[in-house]
Structure formats: structure tokens, C-alpha cells
Copies of this chain bind each other. A is one copy, B any other.
């Protein structure tokens, strides 16, 4: 793509470094910004930089936060003795969007995956073990992706917190709401038969 301006080209290059943004999309976005007032473009850049520089990682749960303790960990209305263990910030956002969970979180920052070179030491597992041992935690809910790596991570953490009286659970696995039985894979179907639940649970 031949661009008539080097400055335009630089802006397009910067945009196309973002995931899922190709050169053509980048050009469309840049030409849109070109039509905006300079103040708006300035506000755009400033918001990104402020987000990058002024956000913190919560000291307790490793979620993103505007202060040293995140709004969830510092909220006295949330059950501090309940921890939902997730892989990333994105999972916290997804679970918060359900508005059904009233405990706290612990963001691992990834899952154990030897093939990708991610071992337990690169994750925030040690601080989680410490929280369980010192903060009077009653239940750990694992909300990890149902993969080998996810299960390995659950198993590793469960071993680490032994001996402990804390209850350890994982979010339910089974047929997704609105899903169709005939298209479910055998593993999911077999497991959901094995872990069948009382019909009363269907009531919301």
C-alpha cells in the first residue's frame, strides 16, 4: 500500500501492531482520526497513556485496579473469605458481568503449560497459597478453562494448599445453556452424565 504521507504511514503502522488489526483496517481508523479535532486525538492518546501508567495491579488479587487494593478487594460488602481463581483479568470482567458472584478473585496471570514454557513460578500461585493459609479463606472456586492445562493448574494448587480445611470447587462443566446434545463432544456428554445433578438445581 502506497501512502502519500510518511506521518500517515507511521500512524497506520502503529495501529496495525494491535492484535487483529491489519493495514487496511488501520488505514480506515487513521483516516477517521484525521477527520477529528486535534483535541479529540490528543484525548485518545492521553486516555491510553494514563491507563497504561496509572493503573495498578491489586496487591491482594492481582486484578487491574486504580489503587493499590482493587475495588473488589476493598469492598466490605463482598465476601472476602470466598476466592474465585481465574487465569486473567478478562475472566474477572466476564464473571463480574454475570452480576451473580459476591466473593473476591485471584488472578493467576496464566495457567501452568509446560509446552509454552509456563511453570508455576511464573504465576501468582505463591500469593494465593499465602492468602489461603493466612486470610481465613473458606472456599476456593476454580474458574479456569476446562483444558488439560487448567486441570493441571487446579491439581497443582490443590496439592500446594494441603493440609487445609478450605473447600475447593470448580465451576460446573456440562452442556452449555441453549446448546444441543447431538453436537456436544463425547467428553463433555460423558462427564455431564457422570456429574448429573438434581433437577431442583435448574430453578434459578
What are the residues of chain B within 8 A of A1 when measuring CB–CB? 93, 97
Q: Is the interface of A mostly helix, strand, loop or mixed?
A: helix
| Cβ contact within 8 Å between B29 and A18 | yes
A54–B5 alpha-carbon span in the complex (Å): 10
- What is the interface residue range for chain A against chain B? 35 or more
Q: Report the copy number of this chain in the oligomer.
A: 2
With A33-B51, A51-B33 in contact, do A4 and B45 touch (Cβ < 8 Å)? no
What are the residues of chain B within 8 A of A71 when measuring CB–CB? 4-5
Checking B5, B8, B31, B52 against A41 with a beta-carbon cut-off of 8 angstroms, the contacting residue is B52
Residue ranges of A at the interface with B (Cβ–Cβ < 8 Å): 1-8, 10-11, 13-14, 17-21, 25, 27-34, 36, 38, 41-55, 63-66, 70-72, 89-90, 92-93, 96-97, 99
